[in-house]
Amino acid sequence: MTTNTLLQSENFSLRQQLEAFLHEARQNEDKMRRFDQLERKLIGASSLLELVHLLLTEYRLAFGIEFVTLALVDKDYESTRILESAHGSDAGLSGLTLLQSPVPLEIRYGNARHPCLGAFNSEQHQGIFNAPEGAISSVALLPLARHGELIGSLNFGSANPDRYVQGCGTDFLERLAEVVAICIESALAQERLKLIGLTDVLTGVQNRRYFEHRCHVEISQARRYKHPLACMFLDIDKFKRINDTYGHPSGDEVLKSVALAIQSQLRSGDTIARYGGEEFVALLPQAELHHAQQIAERIRCSIAEKDLRALDGQTIRLTISIGLSMLPVEDMVGEDQQLADRLVAAADKALYEAKHRGRNQVVCDGSQPSGPARSTPWRRLHGLFSS
């Protein structure tokens, strides 16, 4: 082979290498552009729900990954409550797993805090992705850590066996894991701040603002799935007399005790809020009328049986009146706000019927008194959602 031929061969080989380097550089530049766009969205996410959606949906679409899953440590069910509140009572997000303990992640990653890349192993990875057989060939598992503790794992599964190969550089994935972990921590902090603004400081239950939001969520879910929805208005009987007799500090203790008693009788998916003063309101999704009546009666009995001590040692006897209404499953005509107004107004009307009948009882909207009743013009509507 002549010198000229050798030079041409070397030149061709160098051109091929250069083109490969340029192609890889362009790919990396495009990857970084897409990552930068996604990173901005992650940082700008206004809620934990939006952040989870970005990770499970937009990342998969932006980078052409067949499977993306996310596991978050949720020891105190904080994320569960936040996502249920934002997404409704059927807050199942495909690809999201909430773990009660970090142990499964600690077993998976050990002391390492670096992405794990390699071939798909059915025994090790099937539970992470729950993918059809043969759909995944390579995986990348990214530990999400803050302050040295594992808070989750972001997992990618690809049909391409060369997409994630053990020993490949992981700088990009490590950067992604750091950004995601910070965003999750930030989103939870934001949600806690929101929660402070949606919680009644004295009793620790939700406040009216939260109830208004939750009412719309539950009505939307009831419309969609044709589920029953019950609403209860609860009012402590003769609360002013309690304050006047035993003092406002004792009255505050009564409010705390009643809130706790109501909450103890509700189910995990129910909502309780302090509506104002001595009034509470509750939403019971997927509760038929007879079931809602049973819950209301249990609340009434538990409070009637309470003996509280005032600060001066005197015994405080309590009773509560409850008005109950149901969202009409077969006749949900109107906007969500109109339905919310009618639902709450009906419970309010039933509450004041309970007061008129003598207090310390449960009255269902539309029910007839068991004995002779006097007509009364005494009716007050709160004008829910009007402001």
**CATH number of the domain enclosing 62:** 3.30.450.40
Of the candidate ranges 220-224, 259-263, 342-346, the one whose mean pLDDT is the lowest: 220-224
pLDDT score of 281: 97
Told to judge if 278 belongs to the known catalytic residues of this protein, a careful annotator would answer yes
Answer yes or no: is 384 within a domain: no
Q: What's the pLDDT band for 77 if we cut at 50, 70, 90?
A: confident
Residues 158 and 70 in one domain: yes
Are 73 and 129 contained in the same domain?
Answer: yes
Share of the chain above pLDDT 90, in %: 54
Q: Give domain status of residue 38, yes or no.
A: no
Is there a single domain that holds both residue 241 and residue 148?
A: no
* Final residue in a domain of this structure, among 197, 224, 259: 197
Burial 33-55 (b: 16+ CB within 10 A, else e): eebeebbebbeebebbbebbebb
For residue 5, tell me if it sits in a domain. Answer: no
Q: How far is CA 244 from CA 236, 238, 248, 302, 321, in A?
A: 14, 10, 8, 24, 20
Q: Identify the three-state secondary structure at position 305.
A: coil
> pLDDT digit string (tens) for 335-352?
888 899 999 999 999 999
185 and 155 within one domain = yes
**Average pLDDT of the chain, as a whole number:** 85
**Which residue, of 174, 197, 220, is where some domain finishes?**
197
CA distance 347 to 349: 5
Structural domain contains residue 192: yes
Question: What span, in angstroms and rounded, lies between the C-alpha atoms of 196 and 48?
Answer: 16
Could you tell me if 235 and 162 lie in one domain?
no
Amino acid 167: pLDDT: 76
241 lies in the same domain as 166: no
105 and 220 together in one domain: no
Range of the domain at 159: 45-197
Specify whether 238 is located in the same domain as 192: no
Q: Is residue 10 part of a domain?
A: no
- Claim to verify: residue 101 and residue 138 sit in the same structural domain: yes
Q: Are strands 279-285 and 229-236 parallel, antiparallel or unpaired?
A: antiparallel
Query: Same domain for 358 and 211?
Result: yes
CATH number at residue 223: 3.30.70.270
Q: Which of 166, 197, 228 is the last residue of a domain?
A: 197
Position 146 in a domain: yes
| Beta-strand pair 138-146/116-119 | antiparallel
User: Is residue 346 domain-resident?
Assistant: yes
Question: Mean pLDDT: which of 81-85, 152-156, 335-339 is highest?
Answer: 152-156
* Poorest-pLDDT segment among 48-52, 85-89, 251-255, 314-318: 85-89
Co-location of 180 and 212 in the same domain: no
Q: Which pLDDT score, from 0 to 100, does residue 385 have?
A: 33
Count how many domains the chain has: 2
| 147/105 same-domain check | yes
Which residue out of 278, 279, 297, 305 is catalytically annotated?
278
Segment 158-176 shows an average pLDDT of 87
290 in a structural domain: yes
Q: Is 102 in contact with 72 (CB distance < 8 Å)?
A: no
- Residue 90 pLDDT > 50, yes or no? no
Which residues make Cβ contacts (< 8 Å) with residue 203, sequence separation at least 6? 255, 256, 259, 260, 274
